[in-house]
Each structure stands twice: as structure tokens, then as C-alpha cells.
Amino acid sequence: MRKQHKKLVVILLIGLISGIAVKWNSIEDYWLLSRRFEKPEDRNGAWEQDLNYLKSDYLRVCRSFGKNASEEFYSEVDFILNSINTLTDNQILVKLIHAVALADDAHTNVKYKFLPKAGIRMAWFEEGLYVIKTSSSYNDHLGNRINRVNGLAIDAIRTALYDYIPGNDYNKKQSLSGLIIRPDFWNGISTTYNSDYLIVEMVDSTGMMQIDTIGIETITSTLINLYWDNLPDTVFIKYKKPFDNLPLYLSSPYKAALYQSLTDKSIYILVNSSSNKGIDLKEFAKTLKDELDSEVYENIIYDIRLNSGGSYNLSRKIEDLIINEIAESAGHLYLITGNQTASSAINSAATLKHHLGEHMTIAGEPVGDNLIFWAEPKIFRLPNSGLQISAPIYQHDLQNDRFIPFKTNWGNLFWSFASGGLDVDVPVEVSIHDYINYEDPVMARVLELIENENDK
């Protein structure tokens, strides 16, 4: 009895100390993020104030930098401070993007989405990088494959720009398509690139080469989204077909989730956002529970390829329902992931892998982040430029069953995320042909696996 009492006292003390430490960190972060500054006299003074604030306080809030990365970060910020007179605003911005990317964590980044974009949008397919949307001025380029941008071939662009994008190679690849369409970013790399336009070399569907100067233009559309990141900016409008024919994973772009019974034994569940986008996920989980209670599903297809994150607490009930249903039916889960699967969506995948193991098959493409990453970012705002820089404060370990006090997210202590790895069992990429023709090769492959299993 005494041993139990001692153990309880130790647990309570650890909890009390941890609570005090977490509260103290929150107070310190609030003070650092709420600092007020006198208005500088000129442009150089404004940048000097911003950079000194970044140098003195950013890494006191942001905890994702290792020792070597911290030293490199300070060195780069010092270089910018000493070069303000000779650097343009765009050059300073790009160097800051690079300095922050040294953390090599996808949640640690400069928010550069305010930079104007050229009048095209690009996305990756099995065959390469393609134009998926344009302003009306460049409508003839829809569906073209990108060969070069500003004279650089795609492989050379990867080599040149990957250092500005943190995270694993899949996150770098996906983020690249949104970075290279910003002329200001190119101009920040070198003033030889114009800040008002891009020079883009493309190949059309007949194999003809096209070169055009693409200026900055706003793209608007009321059409339904047809691509991974679920934003209105990425609509493929050249091939106008009835939306009734859309594959399931594209059929609910403005809702976080849906489910559909496929056969008496199979059900498809889509969660394309871990946030209450157009639907309350807790209410969705209740409806899904009623469905799972009414039927015994031996095959569950859980599609999170579009899910770039949100709050794991909102989707956790859905994962619990899936785990219980597979256990009761002695069935199998087919998890569909993609390069856009990130943040809390990877937590979901890790939870399922931990509990279901060999009763789960992953199909599609690899997830878009490492299995050990930092998250729960606070926003560090520079007072004059207004640049917002994310500063993650907790680490998530979705690889191992490991919890480090004051470092690992507390969810690792209460929930099981030890996946051991999320390698794709059945690799399937979407081609430009699939995209144009509203086909889903990943779903087709999963249904084929289910049919083959049923035939045994």
C-alpha cells in the first residue's frame, strides 16, 4: 500500500511540476510575442528592428531548431543584418525564408502567401508538373506540362529551391508548385529575375513547345475544386464535364467528411480536413457510428489523401470507430494517403497503424511529412514588415512509443501513435489522364484488392 501511495505522490508531483513549467512557458511566450517597439525612422531602421527582434526572441519561442540549425540560423540573420543596405526587400525576405527553413520542420516556416502570384497554377502528376488553372489571359496553357520556369529546368528548380522549403521531400515537392509561381520570390533569389512576371516554357498535349511571359494576375472561379489541396485556386477548368461523374475523393471539396456504403461488406469514408469545414466532425462521427452499428463492414476504405491537418481531437472519434469495426468484423482497413496528408492527418494514420497492424493496407502516395515533427505553432510577427513566422512548441513522435516531458506533445502520453512507419504498401500515382477524365486509380486499385480477397 505504501508503495502505491509513493507512486501516486510521484505522479502527482510530476504532473504539478509539468503544469507549472507549461504555464510558465506560455506566460514567457505571451510576453515575447506581445512586445511593443518604437517606430523606426526609415526602411533600414525598420528591418534592423525586425531582425534584432527575430534574433533575440524567435528561438526562445520556437523549439524545433536543433543546436547546429540554431547556430546556422543566427549566422544567417547576422549576415542579413550586416547587409541591409545592399539587399532589396525581396532579397531579405527570401533569405529569411531560407534561415527559418533550416529547422527542417514543415510547421516551421515564413508565411509567404501574401506574395503576388502569376496568372497560372501548377500541380504534380505522375508525368510531371502541369498547369491546372489560369486566369483568362492564359487559358490556352491549361493542361500544359511545365518544362522550364525562368530558364531553369524542373530538376534544376528542385535543386535550387528545395533549401527554401522545410520538411521531407514530399512536402518540398508539393510546396514547390506554390512557390515558383511568385515572381517576387524569384527576384529575391536574384535581381536578374523580374518581380512582375515569369517566363514559362511548356509542352501542350500535341507535343508543341510554348513559351510565354506570365504576369501577375488574380485568379477567381466559382467552379468546384478538382485538386488535392482543396482550395478554389486549383480548379481545372479546361475540360468541362458534369460534376456528377467526379470520383468520391473530389466530390465533397467544401465539406470535411463523407461516407458511402459501397457493398454490403464495404464502406468508403473520406476525411479531407481535420477541421469543421462545412460539417461538424463530431456530429459526423455520430452518424457514422449509427451506420457502422447497423451493418457489419469487413472492408473499410479510409481516405485522407487530401487532409493536410487541423485538430486531431476532431477526427479521433472516427479512428476509434474504424478500429472497433475492424476488430468486430475481423475485417481489413485500406488507408489512402498522399503527399498532402500532413500534420494531424498523419496522427490519424499512425493511430490506425498502431492498433490495426497487419489488418491495414496503405495505398496511394507517401504522407507529406516526417513521422517525428514539431507542431502547435505560435505566430511570431515582425513589427514593421508584418512577416508572420510560425514557431512550433511541441514535438510529435509518430514513429516510436516515446514521450519526453516538456518536449513531446502530451497526446503521445495518452494516445498510441507508435506506428513503426507508414510506408505505402500499394503505390499508386494519379496521372494527368486520370485527372482530366475524372478517374481515381487509387480507389480502383483498392477495389481490385478487395475483389481479389473476396474471390479467395
Domains of the chain: 2-87 (no CATH), 89-238 (2.30.42.10), 247-371+419-455 (3.90.226.10)
**pLDDT bucket at 264, cuts 50 / 70 / 90:** confident
Give the per-residue pLDDT at 245.
73
Give the per-residue pLDDT at 25.
53
Q: Is it the case that residue 375 has pLDDT exceeding 80?
A: yes
Give the per-residue pLDDT at 216.
93
Summarised one tens digit per residue, pLDDT across range 377-410 is 999 999 999 999 999 999 999 888 788 877 887 7
Dihedral, CA of residue 336, residue 341, residue 345 and residue 347, to nearest 10:
90
Count how many Cα atoms sit within 13 Å of the Cα of residue 79 in the half-sphere of its side chain. 14
- Range with the poorest average pLDDT among 222-231, 280-289, 394-403: 222-231
Q: Identify the residue whose cell numbers are 510560425.
A: 390
**pLDDT bucket at 417, cuts 50 / 70 / 90:** confident
For 227-237, what is the mean pLDDT?
A: 40
- Range with the poorest average pLDDT among 36-40, 71-75, 322-326, 365-369: 36-40
**Can you give the chain as a three-state secondary structure string?**
CHHHHHHHHHHHHHHHHHHHHHHHHHHHHHHHHCCCCCCCCCHHHHHHHHHHHHHHHHHHHCCCCCHHHHHHHHHHHHHHHHCCCCCCHHHHHHHHHHHHHCCCCCCCCECCCCCCCECEEEEEECCEEEEEEECHHHHHHCCCEEEEECCEEHHHHHHHHHHHCCCCHHHHHHHHHHHCCCHHHHHHHCCCCCCCEEEEEEECCCCCEEEEEEEECCCCCCCCCCCCCCCCCCCCCCCCCCHHHCCHHHCCCCCCEEEEECCCCEEEEEECCECCCCCCHHHHHHHHHHHHHHCCCCEEEEECCCCCCECHHHHHHHHHHHHHHHHHHCCEEEEEECCCCCCHHHHHHHHHHHHHHHHEEEEECCCCCCCEEEECCEEEECCCCCCEEEECCEEEECCCCCCCCCCECCHHHHCCCCCCCCCCCEECCCCHHHHHCCCCHHHHHHHHHHHHHHHC
**pLDDT bucket at 4, cuts 50 / 70 / 90:** low
For 239-253, what is the mean pLDDT?
A: 70
| Percent of the chain topping pLDDT 90 | 64
**pLDDT bucket at 236, cuts 50 / 70 / 90:** very low
More confident residue, 313 or 364: 364
More confident residue, 3 or 289: 289
**CB of 335 closer than 8 Å to CB of 426:** no
More confident residue, 240 or 359: 359
For 211-237, what is the mean pLDDT?
A: 56
112's CB contacts (< 8 A; 6+ apart) are 93, 97, 179, 182, 185
Give the per-residue pLDDT at 214.
96
CA distances in angstroms from 49 to 125, 341, 383, listed in the order given: 43, 37, 8
Predicted TM-score (pTM) of the model is 0.86
Summarised one tens digit per residue, pLDDT across range 73-106 is 999 999 999 999 999 999 999 999 999 999 999 9
**pLDDT bucket at 114, cuts 50 / 70 / 90:** confident
Give the per-residue pLDDT at 23.
42
Give the per-residue pLDDT at 230.
37
More confident residue, 426 or 227: 426
Residue of 147, 50, 137 whose CA lies nearest to 95: 50
Alpha-carbon distance of 295 to 355, in angstroms, equals 22
Q: Which three cell numbers stand for residue 10?
A: 510521484
Give the per-residue pLDDT at 454.
78
Q: Is it the case that residue 71 has pLDDT exceeding 70?
A: yes
More confident residue, 78 or 10: 78
Q: Which three cell numbers stand for residue 281?
A: 466532425
- Range with the poorest average pLDDT among 58-72, 173-187, 331-345, 415-429: 415-429
